[in-house]
Structure 1
Amino acid sequence: MGFSAVFTFVALTIMMLQDVQVSVSIIWMNMLGSMVMGIYFGVSSMIFDVDHWSPLKQTTIHFLLSISVWLPLAMLIGWLPFNVIPIIVGIGSFIVVYVIFWSGSYFYFKRLEHEMNQSVKR
Protein backbone atom coordinates (compact mmCIF):
# COMPACT_ATOMS: atom_id res chain seq x y z
CA MET A 1 0.00 0.00 0.00
CA GLY A 2 3.01 2.29 0.31
CA PHE A 3 3.26 2.69 -3.45
CA SER A 4 -0.41 3.65 -3.67
CA ALA A 5 0.21 6.46 -1.20
CA VAL A 6 3.23 7.68 -3.18
CA PHE A 7 1.39 7.49 -6.52
CA THR A 8 -1.63 9.27 -5.05
CA PHE A 9 0.58 12.00 -3.60
CA VAL A 10 2.37 12.50 -6.93
CA ALA A 11 -0.93 12.60 -8.83
CA LEU A 12 -2.45 15.07 -6.35
CA THR A 13 0.69 17.24 -6.50
CA ILE A 14 0.53 17.39 -10.30
CA MET A 15 -3.18 18.19 -10.13
CA MET A 16 -2.54 20.92 -7.56
CA LEU A 17 0.25 22.50 -9.63
CA GLN A 18 -1.97 22.50 -12.72
CA ASP A 19 -4.96 23.78 -10.71
CA VAL A 20 -7.13 20.79 -11.67
CA GLN A 21 -10.35 20.49 -9.68
CA VAL A 22 -11.62 16.95 -9.07
CA SER A 23 -14.40 15.71 -6.83
CA VAL A 24 -13.59 13.87 -3.65
CA SER A 25 -15.50 10.80 -4.88
CA ILE A 26 -13.21 10.46 -7.92
CA ILE A 27 -10.07 10.79 -5.75
CA TRP A 28 -11.57 8.32 -3.26
CA MET A 29 -12.33 5.76 -6.00
CA ASN A 30 -8.81 6.03 -7.45
CA MET A 31 -7.21 5.70 -4.01
CA LEU A 32 -9.37 2.65 -3.30
CA GLY A 33 -8.27 1.06 -6.57
CA SER A 34 -4.61 1.77 -5.81
CA MET A 35 -4.94 0.30 -2.33
CA VAL A 36 -6.71 -2.82 -3.60
CA MET A 37 -3.90 -3.37 -6.11
CA GLY A 38 -1.27 -2.74 -3.41
CA ILE A 39 -2.90 -5.26 -1.09
CA TYR A 40 -3.27 -7.76 -3.93
CA PHE A 41 0.39 -7.56 -4.95
CA GLY A 42 1.49 -7.79 -1.32
CA VAL A 43 -0.56 -10.94 -0.72
CA SER A 44 0.02 -12.51 -4.14
CA SER A 45 3.79 -12.46 -3.65
CA MET A 46 3.22 -15.52 -1.43
CA ILE A 47 2.71 -17.49 -4.66
CA PHE A 48 6.49 -17.35 -5.06
CA ASP A 49 6.90 -19.04 -1.65
CA VAL A 50 5.29 -22.29 -2.87
CA ASP A 51 8.46 -24.39 -3.11
CA HIS A 52 6.98 -27.38 -4.96
CA TRP A 53 5.92 -25.16 -7.91
CA SER A 54 8.38 -24.36 -10.67
CA PRO A 55 9.29 -20.70 -11.24
CA LEU A 56 7.40 -20.85 -14.54
CA LYS A 57 4.23 -22.10 -12.82
CA GLN A 58 4.58 -19.48 -10.07
CA THR A 59 5.03 -16.67 -12.59
CA THR A 60 2.20 -17.88 -14.82
CA ILE A 61 -0.26 -18.15 -11.94
CA HIS A 62 0.84 -14.78 -10.53
CA PHE A 63 0.51 -13.10 -13.94
CA LEU A 64 -2.93 -14.60 -14.66
CA LEU A 65 -4.24 -13.68 -11.21
CA SER A 66 -2.74 -10.19 -11.49
CA ILE A 67 -4.36 -9.38 -14.80
CA SER A 68 -7.62 -10.98 -13.59
CA VAL A 69 -7.69 -8.59 -10.63
CA TRP A 70 -6.35 -5.52 -12.44
CA LEU A 71 -8.44 -5.57 -15.62
CA PRO A 72 -11.94 -5.58 -14.04
CA LEU A 73 -10.79 -3.11 -11.40
CA ALA A 74 -9.32 -0.78 -14.03
CA MET A 75 -12.55 -0.85 -16.04
CA LEU A 76 -14.77 -0.44 -12.96
CA ILE A 77 -12.83 2.56 -11.65
CA GLY A 78 -12.47 4.16 -15.06
CA TRP A 79 -8.74 3.70 -15.62
CA LEU A 80 -9.73 1.93 -18.86
CA PRO A 81 -12.81 2.80 -20.92
CA PHE A 82 -15.13 -0.02 -22.01
CA ASN A 83 -13.85 0.08 -25.61
CA VAL A 84 -11.82 -2.54 -27.48
CA ILE A 85 -8.79 -0.40 -28.38
CA PRO A 86 -8.21 1.06 -24.88
CA ILE A 87 -8.60 -2.41 -23.36
CA ILE A 88 -6.05 -3.89 -25.79
CA VAL A 89 -3.65 -1.00 -25.13
CA GLY A 90 -4.23 -1.37 -21.38
CA ILE A 91 -3.52 -5.10 -21.44
CA GLY A 92 -0.42 -4.49 -23.57
CA SER A 93 0.80 -1.82 -21.15
CA PHE A 94 0.12 -4.14 -18.21
CA ILE A 95 2.18 -6.89 -19.86
CA VAL A 96 5.08 -4.49 -20.56
CA VAL A 97 5.12 -3.21 -16.97
CA TYR A 98 4.81 -6.77 -15.62
CA VAL A 99 7.76 -7.93 -17.77
CA ILE A 100 9.86 -4.95 -16.64
CA PHE A 101 9.20 -5.66 -12.96
CA TRP A 102 9.68 -9.42 -13.44
CA SER A 103 12.98 -8.87 -15.28
CA GLY A 104 14.21 -6.49 -12.60
CA SER A 105 13.42 -9.02 -9.88
CA TYR A 106 14.93 -11.86 -11.87
CA PHE A 107 18.25 -10.08 -12.48
CA TYR A 108 18.38 -8.82 -8.89
CA PHE A 109 17.99 -12.31 -7.46
CA LYS A 110 20.43 -13.77 -10.00
CA ARG A 111 23.03 -11.20 -8.88
CA LEU A 112 22.26 -11.97 -5.24
CA GLU A 113 22.63 -15.69 -5.95
CA HIS A 114 25.99 -15.08 -7.63
CA GLU A 115 27.24 -12.98 -4.70
CA MET A 116 26.13 -15.60 -2.17
CA ASN A 117 27.85 -18.36 -4.16
CA GLN A 118 31.03 -16.30 -4.32
CA SER A 119 31.00 -15.73 -0.55
CA VAL A 120 30.50 -19.48 0.05
CA LYS A 121 33.49 -20.29 -2.18
CA ARG A 122 35.76 -18.00 -0.13
Structure 2
Amino acid sequence: MIEVIRRGFAGLGFAGIFTFAALTIMMVQGIEASVSTIWLNMLGSILMGVYFGCASFIYEIESWSPLKQTTVHFMVSVGLWLPLAIFIGWLPFSVMPVLIGLLLFIVVYAIFWQGTKLYLQRLANEMNDTV
Protein backbone atom coordinates (compact mmCIF):
# COMPACT_ATOMS: atom_id res chain seq x y z
CA MET A 1 0.00 0.00 0.00
CA ILE A 2 2.85 2.37 0.79
CA GLU A 3 4.35 1.67 -2.64
CA VAL A 4 1.01 2.56 -4.30
CA ILE A 5 0.97 5.87 -2.42
CA ARG A 6 4.61 6.54 -3.29
CA ARG A 7 4.05 5.89 -6.99
CA GLY A 8 0.83 7.89 -6.93
CA PHE A 9 2.68 10.88 -5.50
CA ALA A 10 5.40 10.47 -8.13
CA GLY A 11 2.65 10.66 -10.74
CA LEU A 12 1.29 13.78 -9.04
CA GLY A 13 4.74 15.33 -9.33
CA PHE A 14 4.80 14.73 -13.08
CA ALA A 15 1.24 16.05 -13.37
CA GLY A 16 2.33 19.20 -11.55
CA ILE A 17 5.29 19.68 -13.89
CA PHE A 18 3.13 19.25 -17.00
CA THR A 19 0.45 21.56 -15.62
CA PHE A 20 3.06 24.19 -14.78
CA ALA A 21 4.50 23.91 -18.30
CA ALA A 22 1.05 24.34 -19.84
CA LEU A 23 0.28 27.33 -17.62
CA THR A 24 3.65 28.87 -18.48
CA ILE A 25 2.93 28.52 -22.19
CA MET A 26 -0.49 30.09 -21.65
CA MET A 27 1.06 32.98 -19.73
CA VAL A 28 3.75 33.62 -22.36
CA GLN A 29 1.15 33.48 -25.13
CA GLY A 30 -1.19 35.81 -23.21
CA ILE A 31 -3.98 33.22 -23.10
CA GLU A 32 -6.60 33.78 -20.42
CA ALA A 33 -8.62 30.92 -18.94
CA SER A 34 -11.23 30.68 -16.23
CA VAL A 35 -10.46 29.03 -12.92
CA SER A 36 -12.96 26.26 -13.69
CA THR A 37 -11.19 25.49 -17.00
CA ILE A 38 -7.79 25.38 -15.30
CA TRP A 39 -9.24 23.26 -12.48
CA LEU A 40 -10.77 20.75 -14.91
CA ASN A 41 -7.52 20.43 -16.86
CA MET A 42 -5.51 20.02 -13.65
CA LEU A 43 -7.91 17.30 -12.55
CA GLY A 44 -7.31 15.44 -15.81
CA SER A 45 -3.57 15.86 -15.45
CA ILE A 46 -3.65 14.63 -11.86
CA LEU A 47 -5.74 11.57 -12.75
CA MET A 48 -3.42 10.65 -15.60
CA GLY A 49 -0.34 11.29 -13.44
CA VAL A 50 -1.58 9.07 -10.61
CA TYR A 51 -2.62 6.40 -13.12
CA PHE A 52 0.75 6.31 -14.87
CA GLY A 53 2.53 6.40 -11.51
CA CYS A 54 0.65 3.31 -10.35
CA ALA A 55 0.35 1.55 -13.71
CA SER A 56 3.99 0.53 -13.51
CA PHE A 57 2.81 -2.29 -11.25
CA ILE A 58 1.65 -4.03 -14.44
CA TYR A 59 5.30 -4.52 -15.39
CA GLU A 60 6.00 -6.26 -12.09
CA ILE A 61 3.70 -9.21 -12.83
CA GLU A 62 6.48 -11.70 -13.52
CA SER A 63 4.14 -14.44 -14.75
CA TRP A 64 3.18 -12.22 -17.73
CA SER A 65 5.33 -11.90 -20.83
CA PRO A 66 6.68 -8.45 -21.71
CA LEU A 67 4.27 -8.41 -24.68
CA LYS A 68 1.28 -9.09 -22.43
CA GLN A 69 2.44 -6.48 -19.89
CA THR A 70 2.84 -3.85 -22.60
CA THR A 71 -0.46 -4.73 -24.28
CA VAL A 72 -2.41 -4.56 -21.02
CA HIS A 73 -0.68 -1.32 -20.01
CA PHE A 74 -1.40 0.23 -23.41
CA MET A 75 -5.06 -0.85 -23.48
CA VAL A 76 -5.76 0.37 -19.95
CA SER A 77 -3.92 3.62 -20.68
CA VAL A 78 -5.96 4.31 -23.83
CA GLY A 79 -9.12 3.19 -22.00
CA LEU A 80 -8.55 5.83 -19.33
CA TRP A 81 -7.06 8.61 -21.46
CA LEU A 82 -9.56 8.65 -24.33
CA PRO A 83 -12.78 9.12 -22.32
CA LEU A 84 -11.00 11.58 -20.03
CA ALA A 85 -9.64 13.56 -23.00
CA ILE A 86 -13.11 13.77 -24.55
CA PHE A 87 -14.83 14.66 -21.24
CA ILE A 88 -12.35 17.38 -20.33
CA GLY A 89 -12.26 18.78 -23.84
CA TRP A 90 -8.71 17.87 -24.80
CA LEU A 91 -10.31 16.19 -27.82
CA PRO A 92 -13.54 17.24 -29.51
CA PHE A 93 -16.02 14.38 -29.73
CA SER A 94 -15.99 13.75 -33.46
CA VAL A 95 -14.35 11.12 -35.63
CA MET A 96 -11.34 12.95 -37.08
CA PRO A 97 -10.10 14.60 -33.84
CA VAL A 98 -10.47 11.30 -31.96
CA LEU A 99 -8.55 9.42 -34.67
CA ILE A 100 -5.79 12.06 -34.72
CA GLY A 101 -5.70 12.04 -30.91
CA LEU A 102 -5.39 8.25 -30.86
CA LEU A 103 -2.63 8.38 -33.46
CA LEU A 104 -0.70 10.96 -31.44
CA PHE A 105 -1.23 8.93 -28.25
CA ILE A 106 0.16 5.84 -29.99
CA VAL A 107 3.18 7.78 -31.29
CA VAL A 108 3.98 9.25 -27.86
CA TYR A 109 3.44 5.85 -26.22
CA ALA A 110 5.77 4.22 -28.77
CA ILE A 111 8.46 6.85 -28.14
CA PHE A 112 8.32 6.28 -24.38
CA TRP A 113 8.26 2.51 -24.89
CA GLN A 114 11.28 2.62 -27.22
CA GLY A 115 13.18 4.87 -24.81
CA THR A 116 12.49 2.52 -21.92
CA LYS A 117 13.48 -0.48 -24.03
CA LEU A 118 16.80 1.13 -25.02
CA TYR A 119 17.50 2.12 -21.41
CA LEU A 120 16.84 -1.40 -20.13
CA GLN A 121 18.97 -2.93 -22.89
CA ARG A 122 21.85 -0.60 -22.00
CA LEU A 123 21.44 -1.46 -18.33
CA ALA A 124 21.50 -5.20 -19.13
CA ASN A 125 24.60 -4.76 -21.28
CA GLU A 126 26.37 -2.87 -18.49
CA MET A 127 25.45 -5.60 -16.00
CA ASN A 128 26.70 -8.28 -18.40
CA ASP A 129 29.95 -6.39 -18.92
CA THR A 130 30.60 -6.30 -15.17
CA VAL A 131 30.11 -10.06 -14.91
- Shorter-normalised TM range: over 0.9
Partner residue of 2:126 out of 105, 115, 119: 115
Rounded Cα–Cα distance in structure 2 between residues aligned with 1:17 and 1:53: 46
Aligned equivalent of 2:63: 52
Q: Are 2:33 and 1:22 aligned? A: yes
Rounded Cα–Cα distance in structure 1 between residues aligned with 2:27 and 2:113: 33
Structure-1-length-normalised TM-score: 0.95
Gaps of 5+ in 1: none
Rounded Cα–Cα distance in structure 2 between residues aligned with 1:17 and 1:63: 34
1:101 Cα deviation after fit: 0.2
Structure-2-length-normalised TM-score: 0.89
1:2 Cα deviation after fit: 1.6
1:10 Cα deviation after fit: 1.4
Q: How does 1:51-70 map to 2 (within 5 A)?
A: 51-70=62-81
Gaps of 5+ in 2: 1-11
**Number of aligned residues:** 120
Partner residue of 1:81 out of 92, 95, 98: 92
SS of match in other structure, 1:51 = coil
1:19 Cα deviation after fit: 2.1
Q: Are 2:21 and 1:10 aligned? A: yes
Aligned equivalent of 1:33: 44
User: 1:15 is aligned with what amino acid?
Assistant: M
Percent identity, please.
Answer: 58
Q: Which has the higher contact order (CA 8 A, sep 6+)?
A: 2
